[in-house]
Amino acid sequence: MLPIDSDLGRFRDIVKGRIRRELKRYVSNHELIGRKGKDLVSIPLPQIGIPRLRHGKNESEGVGQGPGGPGQAGEDTAEHELDVELSVAELAEILGEELSLPRIEPRGASSAPTVLNRFKGISRVGPDSLRHTRRTWRQALRRQVASGSFDPKRPVLVPVREDFRYRSAVPQPIPHSTATVLYLMDVSGSMGQEQKEIVRSEAFWIDAWIQHNYREVTTRFIVHDATAREVDRETFFRLRESGGTLISSAYELALTLIERDHPPSATNNYVFHFSDGDNWSATDTAKCVDLVRQSILPLVNQFAYAQVDSPYGTGQFLKDLRGAFTDDERVALSRVESKDAILGSIRDLLGRGR
């Protein structure tokens, strides 16, 4: 600990405050997408120093010395911009505070135990840094009393090699909750580049927030047009397909995955679906509603659907879902009109703390 740490902390608070005020800008920043929780993100912050009266840009004369010849005068006139590094987890924290998102309340069994090493045991060997002083002296005392070399009038203890005791690590299972999140994305022809970018940003931040709330999160990605298939993270964030849209195909696949790999007794399940709401037919929509109500909802904490406005889509699907699940708090629905609406939409989807 250095005395300056408190100043540093204060500075980081100011930086976080600044980021919070301009969160919108960072939320739709593509460079962040694809980073992981502990990854550091470098955020440039202009003009965070103390403002002082100074000469402006037309300071265009100077004096130089030596054989180097003329050149940029360097720091003195350069704009001062500071790069601040924050982890994705810290950004998620800021997002949560700004949107006043409630902590997610784990449901289901807190099954999966993590094994953590705790220094609770004692051992006869170990590094000096882990030496257990009290136990060592006690051992020395015990030995000296037993061998009769201890004189209570002159209590001198000399530990020898075999008296030394060390703390040792004992593995301890710590139960905690795990989560499984399924991201479903419509990649049909009507989803343009901009729509996909919105989905990417939103999915990224939702992911960051859920990762921040659970110790262990499994994410699975499904893309669909007329058929659905599971893809890896990379593909999910890059793919561009085209074709018709059968949303039920994705829901069926999601259901299969959950039933096969993620029973709700073992994990907290979440489904996030992103689409422009342009389904193939009313029949398919009815099938979707049925799937969600009958099969998916009993297995998940929350089913969320975010509809991105697109020039080609009718956006009918959101209306149909709204009609079908008016009061069900397990279903979160949201509409994203543009990039700027991402924050509000995240609040819609995560605001219930489920």
Binding site for another protein (CB under 8 A): 2-4, 6-14, 47-74, 76, 82, 84
Classify residue 126 as left (phi > 0), alpha (psi -120 to 50) or beta.
left
Q: How far apart are CA 94 and CA 41, in angstroms?
A: 14
Residues paired with 172 in a beta bridge: 116
Residue whose CB is less far from another protein, 7 or 340: 7
Pairing between strand 268-275 and 113-123? unpaired
- Cα–Cα nearest to 289, from 319, 263, 261: 319
* 256, 182 contact by CB (below 8 A): no
Q: Hey, what amino acid is at 257?
A: L
CB of 33 to another protein, least distance (A): 25
Residue whose CB is less far from another protein, 7 or 216: 7
Residue whose CB is less far from another protein, 44 or 74: 74
CB of 13 to another protein, least distance (A): 8
Q: How far apart are CA 78 and CA 95, in angstroms?
A: 32
CB of 12 to another protein, least distance (A): 7
Residue whose CB is less far from another protein, 74 or 127: 74
Q: How far apart are CA 73 and CA 63, in angstroms?
A: 9
Residue whose CB is less far from another protein, 13 or 290: 13
Cα angle: 161, vertex 165, 170; to 5 degrees: 140
- Cα–Cα nearest to 195, from 306, 320, 279: 306
CB of 41 to another protein, least distance (A): 15
CB of 91 to another protein, least distance (A): 18
CB of 96 to another protein, least distance (A): 23
Cα angle: 73, vertex 74, 78; to 5 degrees: 110
Residue whose CB is less far from another protein, 80 or 215: 80
CB of 57 to another protein, least distance (A): 7
Owner of token pair 């708090």: 329
Residue whose CB is less far from another protein, 86 or 185: 86
* Residues 259, 262, 266, 271, Cα dihedral to 10°: -100
Q: What is the CA radius of gyration of the chain?
A: 29
